[in-house]
Structure 1
Amino acid sequence: MSTTIEYVRFACADPEQLTAHRASLIALLRERYGSDFLGAHLARSEDGSLLDFILWASPEAAARAAQEMPGDPAAEGFFSLIGEVHEMRHAQILHSARP
C-alpha cells in the first residue's frame, strides 16, 4: 500500500459552520472507509482559503472517496458549505517524520 494525501484548497464563506460539520464528516469517513481512512487536517491559509488534508491508506481509497463523498447525502452538511474548489490533488507520501 501507498499512503496517499488528498489535498484540497477551497473557498468557504462560513469556516466556523464548516468546522461545526467536520466531526460528522470524519465519523462518516471512518464508518465508510474503515482502516483506509488514516486521518484529516483542516486549515486556513493566509489568503483565507481553506486547506483539507486527508490521509488515505492507498490511492485507490482516496480516489474512491473523492468520487463518492461530495454527492453523498450524509455528507451534504459539510460539502454544501464549500465554495469554489481552487485545487484538488492526490499525492503519494514518500517520507514521514514525527517528533
Structure 2
Amino acid sequence: MMAMELARFTVDPRDVAAMLAARPAMLAALRERFSGFESLRLVRLDERTWLDVVIWASRADADAAAATIGDVPECRSAFAFIKEVVSMEHGEILFAGDRAA
C-alpha cells in the first residue's frame, strides 16, 4: 500500500532561494537512489513554514529511505536550510483522486 510522508519544517526567509535551488538535485537523487520513491511536493504554509509531501510505494520504502537519506549529498545539501523539523508523520494512502486531462 502506498505511503505518504508529511514533513513540516521551517526555513529562514533569507535562505528560501538557496533552498529552492537545491531541490532539483535532491529530487534527482531521490529518483536515482530510492526505488520506492514516487513523488515530492514542497508546500509553503507561511513565510517560514514548509511542508514536504512525499509519496512512497510503501511504508517500508519510506522507512528504508529514512535510514540512509542523510548519506545522500544532494539531500544533505537541501536539508541544510532547514532550521527546525516541526513534525514528521507517515500514513497509508487509502484513496487518491487525480485530475483528469
Q: Above 0.5 in TM-score?
A: yes
User: Are 1:60 and 2:60 counterparts?
Assistant: yes
Q: Which residue does the alignment assign to 1:15? A: 16
Cα deviation for residue 68 of structure 1 reads 1.3
Give % identity.
32
Aligned length, in residue pairs: 97
Q: Which portions of structure 1, spanning 4 or more consecutive aligned residues, are displaced by more than 6 angstroms?
A: none
Gaps of 5+ in 2: none
CA distance in structure 2 between the aligned counterparts of 1:57 and 1:18, rounded to whole angstroms: 26
CA distance in structure 1 between the aligned counterparts of 2:72 and 2:22, rounded to whole angstroms: 14
Q: Which residue does the alignment assign to 1:3? A: 2
Q: Which moved further from structure 2: 68-77 or 39-48?
A: 68-77
2:77 maps to amino acid: G
CA distance in structure 2 between the aligned counterparts of 1:53 and 1:38, rounded to whole angstroms: 11
TM-score of the aligned structures, taking structure 2 as reference length: 0.88
Q: Which moved further from structure 2: 62-71 or 22-31?
A: 62-71
Q: What does 1:44-59 align with in structure 2 at a 5 Å threshold?
A: 44-46=44-46, 48-59=48-59
CA RMSD of aligned residues (A): 1.4
TM-score of the aligned structures, taking structure 1 as reference length: 0.89
